[in-house]
Structure 1
């Protein structure tokens, strides 16, 4: 079969090639690339890391409340159950401090749960009064409620309170404090879960109508800012103040969770909060996280961040004895842990955040 050449076909092809060339020139000679989609990372982090951490916190707050309600003055076994329940509730809270945005901030839940130091004078005044102690009453003073008020009643100022040392009035206060505490953890969890306030949807639907974040990059940047904030607080506040707060010397009264000697666990869990958000992992769930975004753009930086997180946790946990003792007698080890946290903070600020902000 013969093939005949049609002059009109040539004109059509030439016109098409000119249009394509002009389109290419208008974009700097390259066809624009579609924007990357980070919905998977944002969805996993919001649902399986942040919301699940708050669920764990609330579940353990309920267990703490039950343990306090079951406590009988003088029963050592009951008292140990209360102490264990407090420690178990403390861990997910500290692991949530890498994302102190949303309801925990806007609804004033953070100070209601975790104000420090405790207002001992206000507590003593209330104990000495004849006024019934209720959760509603305690809600009027953040410094006399929450984790550290409960800790104060369980361990005492010296950390050695015994089950028989509590009075009926103190138990009344303790029950009100745990009821108030659990109401705030419930409020926090409800604020994030899909069947409640669904704050998680702001991350999941970032860049879409209805989300607080006008782009996925802004939502990812919020995650990074939360990580930076807690690294700064641990290195320059939680460790620095008790280590050097007395003119370069130890200031034990500035140590958070010192009644229970839980400080080192607090700090390590704060860094685990960074780890969980970065890796997209929590409990038995392992999903997409910032690590996947960074690996695709700078694999060396990803390795660096993972290693620095692990190093900070290891150095905190390697501080000998209690933190109270270490700030006086093992200052070099404490300073080494502090340096590891600050190094991580610098990397998050100077390398991770710019990478995320420059994503397309």
Structure 2
């Protein structure tokens, strides 16, 4: 199974549409492009705010590792996930988050994660970077960055899921998440290094998110400025590439179908905290956000206005598909790792399959949307 940093091979071409309305006419398309750039910044700003709140709770826990403060840190991690999950609609076209050379996505949200690469696990009490005191006598951000994805895509050393594993530990429960005790950070072997690792990973997460946020900040000479200044056709192609790639091969494929086919907890997105269903919902919500031009309470011109101008029926269908996907994900009984198990006629598996099918139908309609706007979108 590929990690989250998987990149779709997407090719787009601009084509003309027949006689009449120019689907991406400058005066109508430019405000949509500019709204997209503003929406991206709003979303990343929210993700940064939540990550800073997570950092504050981790700092408090590291300074005084009690069960109560561990619970608070877990709550802050869960609260930080929706904002980032929605932001994944901005991926897959080489933007700041996953630029081939400089994008930090692989450090932020890569998965699946081999727990034994970081710390001790059941049956291997001396496993992981934390316990490798001779090989890695000094922990640092630079070390964790250098070790992230070294010698394999499951060798994840940083990001949300490394932090998740440290906070929850392995999930051995069929009814709930992992339940690592606070004593692992106090009296267990290498407890001080475990605290240090948790703090380093959290600090790095905040820095990486801040770097992406800055690239979309309004009024700056950055990626967001260049994005907004390009021809609307090129900008809309990138937007639809991000939506189609997340909806199709990534969300319905890598994140859901692989786990559904394998019936393996290790293939789910947030396997330590049992937050996978919420992650999937946030991803789908991010796609809807972009199509409608909204984030939270902020609203503006979205792709829906461009589509409605050339094909009102298609716009209605797209909106229905987007909501149907959200509803289908919400209908999956939790936890996700149990929903994917059992016989084919088990309720959980049927609900997961229904959500996969809804996302596939949504992706097909996104391709139709692109066509209506004079864009050919070829998605892997």
The two structures share one fold, judged by TM-score above 0.5: yes
Mapped partners of 1:87, 1:202: distance in 2: 33
In 2 relative to 1, CA 88–197 (structure 1 residues): closer, same or farther, beyond 3 Å? farther
Mapped partners of 1:357, 1:270: distance in 2: 26
Matches within 5 A, 1:8-27: none
Q: Does the alignment pair 1:356 with 2:373?
A: yes
1:113 counterpart (103, 108, 111): 108
Contact kept? 1:74, 1:165, Cα under 8 Å: no
1:213-272 deviations in Å (ceiling 9; x for gaps): xx2112111111110010011111100111103xxxx12211110111111111111111
Mapped partners of 1:58, 1:234: distance in 2: 23
1:265-296 deviations in Å (ceiling 9; x for gaps): 11111111111110000011110010110111
Mapped partners of 1:105, 1:94: distance in 2: 15
Q: Does the alignment pair 1:199 with 2:215?
A: no
Structure 1 residue 74: Cα displacement: 4.9
Q: Does the alignment pair 1:230 with 2:246?
A: yes
Match of 2:303 in 1: 290
Match of 1:70 in 2: 60
Mapped partners of 1:118, 1:226: distance in 2: 24
Contact kept? 1:291, 1:302, Cα under 8 Å: yes
SS in 1 for 2:73: helix
In our comparison, the structure showing a higher alpha carbon Rg is 1
Structure 1 stretch 315-324 or stretch 77-86: which is displaced more?
77-86
2:352 counterpart (324, 334, 348): 334
Mapped partners of 1:277, 1:31: distance in 2: 26
Match of 1:135 in 2: 141
Match of 2:210 in 1: 186
Structure 1 residue 116: Cα displacement: 0.9
Q: TM-score, normalised by structure 2?
A: 0.79
Q: Does the alignment pair 1:87 with 2:78?
A: yes
Match of 1:57 in 2: 47
Q: TM-score, normalised by structure 1?
A: 0.83
1:105-150 deviations in Å (ceiling 9; x for gaps): 1123110101112243332332123322222211112211111100
Could you tell me which runs of 5 or more consecutive residues in structure 2 were left unpaired when the two chains were aligned: 1-18, 120-127, 149-155, 172-177, 186-190, 343-347
Match of 2:97 in 1: 104
In 2 relative to 1, CA 196–139 (structure 1 residues): closer, same or farther, beyond 3 Å? farther
Match of 1:343 in 2: 361
Mapped partners of 1:128, 1:195: distance in 2: 46
Structure 1 stretch 165-174 or stretch 235-244: which is displaced more?
165-174
Structure 1 residue 152: Cα displacement: 0.3
Mapped partners of 1:186, 1:81: distance in 2: 23
Contact kept? 1:221, 1:357, Cα under 8 Å: no
SS in 2 for 1:127: coil
Match of 2:184 in 1: 165
Greater RCO structure (CA 8 Å; 6+ sep): 2
SS in 1 for 2:97: helix
| Structure (1/2) with the larger helix percentage | 1
Could you tell me which runs of 5 or more consecutive residues in structure 1 were left unpaired when the two chains were aligned: 1-29, 207-214
Structure 1 residue 197: Cα displacement: 5.0
Structure 1 stretch 262-271 or stretch 190-199: which is displaced more?
190-199
Match of 1:255 in 2: 268
1:69-97 deviations in Å (ceiling 9; x for gaps): 11155523211221111112211111011
Mapped partners of 2:20, 2:261: distance in 1: 57
Q: CA RMSD of the aligned region, Å?
A: 2.1
Aligned length: 316
Matches within 5 A, 1:302-317: 302-317=315-330
